[in-house]
């Protein structure tokens, strides 16, 4: 049986993170320059039921039976077996790799889950639909993040810019965004890992203590997201930049920024970006800056001088994939 591989992109949240967990909308965009990849191959020399897992990026080389059941890789693999009612899989090797930085707000964990689900279900002769892939990845996120909005699994599964809102536990609204004008985003890493579960958990604690205060911040973020959608759809990217910077300030108010993130946001604005903000869970990870294509390399230099450990420039354009 030939080896089967699948990959999944990283993602950024353009506007709306954290408030999206509380039912407000957010806009997310796939980032195809960074990817997670899973390869599944038959392992006929091993006894049936032996699943060998190699993930060199995170130093894992073991069997499924030896991994803790709550390990994210084990959860992804077992979710496929359970969905297909497979109690004794054929002997196989799963190799996982990723160029997406871990715990950096770029969706690495979700992309890895999605690549595994796609490759394994295809290897077993039952490739899952996008809808099933996204649903399984959301269930996995719940185990690890507690209260995810579902935006990460949605944008990474469908691989196109989306406007996302969770109306209720089982009702989400997803709109594919058309982009009349391509725009350039610089993604710059503080180099500080920050698990999303801890910032999401901290925001929840704060919201439980002062619900009205936090609800009013979420409302302001929701308004920014709606305005951002209008600016994107009418090609007004400079106005979109101002909204991103305003969103960053509200994330500061939520307590999820950090001196390093603030420094990178300031550096990109000083170098001429139209707007900038942290992206994802915050406290560490990445900022995103919106700029003209001509200014991207100048802004990248400014970001590196201000301490960014890594920066990538990505051109956001009309649909990369069209089956939403």
User: Residue numbers of the site for ligand PMV (CB under 6 A)?
Assistant: 13, 17-18, 20-21, 105, 107, 145, 148-149, 151-152, 196, 200, 280-281
* Rg of the chain (C-alpha set): 20
* CA pair distance 263, 258, nearest whole angstrom: 9
Nearest distance from residue 114's CB to ligand PMV, in Å?
13
Q: Which is nearer to ligand PMV, 148 or 161 (CB)?
A: 148
- Nearest distance from residue 17's CB to ligand PMV, in Å? 4
Indicate the residue among 86 and 102 with the shorter CB distance to ligand PMV. Answer: 102
- Ramachandran angles phi, psi of 198, nearest 5°: -75, -40
Which CB sits closer to ligand PMV, 7 or 279?
279
Cβ contact 176:320 at 8 Å = no
Whether 23 contacts 64, CB under 8 Å: no
Cα distances (angstroms) measured from residue 212 to each of 18, 116, 218, 219: 16, 41, 10, 10
Selection from 281, 282, 32, 249 nearest residue 149 by Cα: 281
Residue 12 · residue 106 · CB < 8 Å: yes
Structure tokens at 18: 């954290």
Furthest C-alpha separation in the chain: 61
- Looking at beta carbons only, is 285 or 302 nearer to ligand PMV? 285
Residue nearest to ligand PMV (CB): 280
- Report the nearest approach of ligand PMV to the CB of residue 98 (Å): 14
DSSP 8-state secondary structure symbol assigned to residue 166: E
- Spatial distance between the Cα atoms of 204 and 47, rounded to a whole number of angstroms: 46
Q: Catalogue the active-site residues.
A: 152
- Cβ at position 48, least distance to ligand PMV in Å: 36
In the complex with ligand PMV, the residue whose CB is nearer, 110 or 184, is 110
> CA–CA separation, 285 vs 300, rounded Å?
16
* Minimum distance, C-beta of residue 185 to ligand PMV, in the bound complex (Å): 15
């Amino acid at each position: 049986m030939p080896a089967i591989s699948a990959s999944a992109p990283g993602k950024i949240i353009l506007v709306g993170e954290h408030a999206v967990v509380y039912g407000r909308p957010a806009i997310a965009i796939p980032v195809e320059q960074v990817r997670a990849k899973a390869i599944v191959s038959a392992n006929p020399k091993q006894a049936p039921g032996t699943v060998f897992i190699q993930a060199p990026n995170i130093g894992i080389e073991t069997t499924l039976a030896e991994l803790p059941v709550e390990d994210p890789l084990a959860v992804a693999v077992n979710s496929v077996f359970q969905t297909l009612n497979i109690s004794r899989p054929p002997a196989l090797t799963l190799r996982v790799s990723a160029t997406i930085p871990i715990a950096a707000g770029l969706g690495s964990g979700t992309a890895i889950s999605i690549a595994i689900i796609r490759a394994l279900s295809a290897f077993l002769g039952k490739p899952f639909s996008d809808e099933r892939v996204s649903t399984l990845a959301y269930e996995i996120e719940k185990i690890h993040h507690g209260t995810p909005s579902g935006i990460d699994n949605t944008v990474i599964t469908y691989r196109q810019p989306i406007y996302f809102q969770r109306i209720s536990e089982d009702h989400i609204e997803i709109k594919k965004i058309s982009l009349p004008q391509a725009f350039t985003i610089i993604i710059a890493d503080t180099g500080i890992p920050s698990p999303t579960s801890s910032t999401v958990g901290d925001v929840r604690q704060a919201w439980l203590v002062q619900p009205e205060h936090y609800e009013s911040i979420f409302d302001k973020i929701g308004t920014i997201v709606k305005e951002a959608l209008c600016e994107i759809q009418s090609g007004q990217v400079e106005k979109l930049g101002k909204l991103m910077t305003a969103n960053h300030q509200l994330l500061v108010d939520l307590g999820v920024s950090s001196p390093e993130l603030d420094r990178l946001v300031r550096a990109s604005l000083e170098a001429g970006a139209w707007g900038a903000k942290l992206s994802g869970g915050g406290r560490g990870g990445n900022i995103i800056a919106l700029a003209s294509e001509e200014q991207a390399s100048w802004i990248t230099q400014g970001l590196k001088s201000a301490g960014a450990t890594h920066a990538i420039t990505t051109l956001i354009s009309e649909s990369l994939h069209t089956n939403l």
